[in-house]
Structure 1
Amino acid sequence: MLDPYFFGYGSLVNAATHTYRSTHPAQLNGWRRVWRHTSLRDQAFLSVTPAEGAQIDGLIAEVPNSDWQVLDLRETGYFRSNLDATQLKHSAGAVDVQMYQTQPELQATPDVRHPILLSYLDVVVQGFLEVFGEDGAERFFETTDGWDTPVLNDRSNPRYPRSQILTTSQTALVDAKLAHIGAQIITPR
């Protein structure tokens, strides 16, 4: 039996944040990304919501020996479910794919007390740039809801545990996209 895969649509697209090496770019139909807050975390993070006619880019990666324990721990605050193979396009062949999303009973709309961490967003966008190029980063912003959530500029002292160093051009692209969508940038206290 083949090992299962996960579909990552946020920070898991950035292979520098995990050790899963058998990866493939993928597209998931019928879903959009959304910024969410749950009672389990102090900041906003990405989830997904069904959306007829929508499509999001992401990355699938093999979970060797079906060992979900480490990934489930990393994805605390999410639940894992099987994806319908007809919704997913990728080059890995006939494999089972699961996806994480926030627990509905714990989710709320993010706010100033629960902002998007810029260090987290940087990691996500860096992953999309590396896997899908600038067009993919553009699609990430276009296919994600909740940009009215404040963004906490924590770049100088990252709060995101898997933060990465961006190139000057990657940083400029993130900043330009945030300016274009009119994101509210707040500074840490």
Structure 2
Amino acid sequence: MSGSDFLIGYGSLLSAYSRQTYSNLHTPVIPVMVTGWQRGWTTRYGDEVATYLGVRPAEGVTLSAALVPTQITDELRHRERGYDFTPVERDAIRLLRPGAAESELEAARFWIVVNREQIHADETHPIPQSYIDTCLLGCLETGGREMAEHFIDSTERWDGHRVNDRDWPTPLYPRGTPSSATQRAEIDALLRGAGI
């Protein structure tokens, strides 16, 4: 895979802090909507006691995401262990800010990481608030409130067990983005507004 590869980031890769700190990805991202994929709380790693985001193919469904210019390195593969790197056709991707990036994407290849199993969160593998915060902070910085609301509304399986690990000495999510009291309040208001 070459420098013309883009990873479709639909979870923590939306967050610049998480991308830069834990995957050494410093290039600006491109906000997009991707047709044909359903995001949900459906992924686990054998070495972590939490449930994370995954995707599954779903006709007519749209996924708010970001194109992350990258090379598919061993570091990135480790971050995305438990997922398969799956190609996505260019016509499934709509830029949220059309412009100069379009010509850059003409010859590019696009990849989405697809979890191998669809697993529901439970008490021993909850959805960590630290991960929710990281994803929603990424949405807010990448596509604003509209992207954050779409993320919440279009993600399935919010009914899985969740835990508020924000103030734990070691949060469950190891690649989290630090959040301020103001940011936490905004995230909580978004979740409440969606009935979550």
Smaller-chain TM-score bracket: 0.7 to 0.9
Residue among 128, 131, 136 paired with 2:142: 131
* Candidates 67, 70, 88, aligned match of 2:75: 70
Which of 98, 106, 113 does residue 111 from structure 2 map onto?
98
- Cα deviation 1:109-148 (Å, max 9, x = unaligned): 2112111010111000000000111111111101100010
RMSD: 1.8
Structure 2: segments with no counterpart, 5+ residues: 96-100
Match of 1:140 in 2: 151
Deviations 1:130-171 (A, max 9, x none): 011111111110110001012111111222112222233321
Which structure 1 residue ranges, 5 or more long, are not aligned? Answer: 184-189
1:60 to 58, 67, 75: 67
User: How many aligned residue pairs are there?
Assistant: 179
Q: What is residue 186 of structure 1 aligned with on the other side? A: none
Aligned partner letter, 2:76:
L
Which residue type is aligned with residue 77 of structure 2?
Answer: D
| Kept in 2: contact 1:116–1:152 (CA 8 A) | yes
Q: CA deviation at 1:2?
A: 4.8
Which of 34, 47, 60 is the matching residue for 1:28? 34
Please identify, of 130-139 and 85-94, the stretch whose mean Cα deviation from structure 2 is larger: 85-94
Report the Cα offset of residue 3 of structure 1: 2.5
Which residue pairs with 1:162 in the alignment? 175
Q: What is the alpha-carbon distance in structure 1 between the residues aligned to residue 67 and residue 195 of structure 2?
A: 31
Quote the Cα distance in structure 2 between the aligned partners of 1:39 and 1:163: 16
CA drift of 1:17 comes to 0.9
Q: Deviations over 1:4-40 (max 9, x none)?
A: 1101000001111123214211110111211014362
Distance 2:43 2:151 in 1: 19
Secondary structure of the 2:124 match is coil
Measured in 2, the distance between the counterparts of 1:80 and 1:49 equals 13
Of residues 118-127 and 67-76 in structure 1, the stretch that sits farther from structure 2 once superposed is 67-76
Q: Aligned equivalents of 1:145 and 1:136: distance in 2?
A: 16
Query: Is contact 1:33–1:47 with CA below 8 Å preserved after alignment?
Result: yes
